[in-house]
Amino acid sequence: LTEHKSDPVVVIGLGRFGTSLALELTRRGTEVLAIDNRPKITQALAGRITQIATADATDIEALRQLGVADFYQAVVAIGGDIEASILTTSLLVELEVNDIWAKAISIQHGRILDRIGAHHVVFPEHDMGERVAHLVSGRMLDYM
């Protein structure tokens, strides 16, 4: 998410990952349209993100109405519901969103996201594990 830093970003799925991403982008001055189908989640975040909508992201009409097709970047942060993740990602491809990021929870899930046209597939748990390994080994080197 570096190339077009100031462009608005759509974040779909406001679990722990999607929520912290949407809040961090907001903190950095990026306009965010956040979407989740659970009203409890969207209500809890109202006012903290530029625009927040309660909608089913697997419904192409809902995405159209929210203007998702006009965004340059989108992040699919749905993990557990793999079917919803894949369907949502394929709709973003269909809407010709230029830069689609999608979160995968397994290698197989990541492969499918890649094949259907996600431009970037991220594995948050795995990536964070690697980062912590760097931190830990860096700290350990300090003591050697």
Reading the block at residue 142, the tokens are 């300090």
Reading the block at residue 87, the tokens are 């369907």
Closer to ligand ATP by CB, 31 or 60: give it: 60
Q: How far is the CB of 77 from ligand ATP (least distance, A)?
A: 6
Q: How far is the CB of 23 from ligand ATP (least distance, A)?
A: 13
Helix (H) or strand (E) holding 33: strand 32-36
The Cα 14–Cα 79 span in angstroms is: 10
The Cα 28–Cα 57 span in angstroms is: 25
Closer to ligand ATP by CB, 17 or 73: give it: 17
The Cα 68–Cα 78 span in angstroms is: 16
Closer to ligand ATP by CB, 41 or 141: give it: 41
Q: How far is the CB of 88 from ligand ATP (least distance, A)?
A: 6
Between CA 69 and CA 96, with CA 2 as vertex, the angle to 5 degrees is 20
Q: For binding to ligand ATP (CB under 6 A), which residues are involved?
A: 12-18, 35-38, 41, 56-58, 78-81, 84, 105
Closer to ligand ATP by CB, 30 or 37: give it: 37
